[in-house]
Amino acid sequence: MTNDTAVFLGQWMRAPGTTGAVAPSSRRLAAAVTAPVPHRGDPVIVELGPGTGAFTAEIQRRLGGRGHHLAVEINPKLADFLADRHPKVDVVVADAAGLPGLLEQRGLLHADAVVSGLPWAAFSEETQASLLNAVAAVMGPNTAFTTFAYSFAKHLPPARRFRRRLHDTFEEVVTGRTVWGNVPPAFVYHARRPRG
């Protein structure tokens, strides 16, 4: 068991409703989720629920020292682990529902990409709505929002509810192909253009 997996599993055992997975995401899933990170300029990238940093590492690789990478993690132990591993990332212990205020505190107007590792299917309808409203509030006209879901849970009521909420929140929602190399297999949602 890798150190990442041990830390992740330990935090899942303490709080499965907020950690949401028993193991970190694979590199293949990380590549699919972080695809919208711009290759040029100094973009503002927001990462929600980074955990031990599977997506964080890929975002940092894509940025290559450019831009501002804000990682919002509600679990203090995971946040400390992440900050030690990725000192160039602006890691904050906070609820993602407060995202607009977190950007405002940093003098940032909007995000260029929002990448989420949050366990959406584990959240109540109210929490899903609150978090997606916060994401939509920090998106500009060209901002991309990406998140993932596990294939086995696709037809369960919480996952269906989240999919409906995505379509209610964004004008464009595209479902990616299944990433079989992840445990368990997962797929990515790509969303743009918040409604109203």
* Spatial separation of the C-alpha atoms in residues 36 and 17, rounded to whole Å: 28
Segment 66-92 mean pLDDT: 97
Chain-centroid distance of CA 20 in Å reads: 12
* Bridging pattern class, strands 90-93 and 111-116: unpaired
Choice between 80 and 196, residue whose per-residue pLDDT is larger:
80
Closest CA to 15 of 100, 75, 93: 75
Closest CA to 192 of 144, 134, 146, 136: 144
Closest CA to 186 of 126, 121, 95: 121
What pLDDT, on a 0 to 100 scale, did the predictor assign at position 3?
55
What pLDDT, on a 0 to 100 scale, did the predictor assign at position 23?
60
C-alpha distances in Å from residue 167, one per residue of 83, 107, 172, 189: 34, 30, 7, 11
What pLDDT, on a 0 to 100 scale, did the predictor assign at position 14?
55
What pLDDT, on a 0 to 100 scale, did the predictor assign at position 8?
43
Segment 135-152 mean pLDDT: 96
What pLDDT, on a 0 to 100 scale, did the predictor assign at position 46?
98
* Spatial separation of the C-alpha atoms in residues 133 and 70, rounded to whole Å: 18
**Do the beta carbons of residue 51 and residue 8 sit within 8 Å?**
yes
Percent of the chain with pLDDT over 70: 88
Segment 125-147 mean pLDDT: 96
What pLDDT, on a 0 to 100 scale, did the predictor assign at position 24?
72
Kindly report the CA angle at 76 between 145 and 72, in degrees rounded to 5? Answer: 15
Closest CA to 18 of 57, 50, 46: 50
What pLDDT, on a 0 to 100 scale, did the predictor assign at position 160?
94
Per residue in 12-54, pLDDT (tens digit) is 445 544 444 546 789 999 999 999 999 999 999 999 999 999 9
Give 100's pLDDT tier (boundaries 50, 70, 90).
Answer: very high
Q: Which domains does the chain have, with CATH numbers?
A: 36-89+97-194 (3.40.50.150)
Per residue in 164-174, pLDDT (tens digit) is 999 999 999 99
Percent of the chain with pLDDT over 90: 84
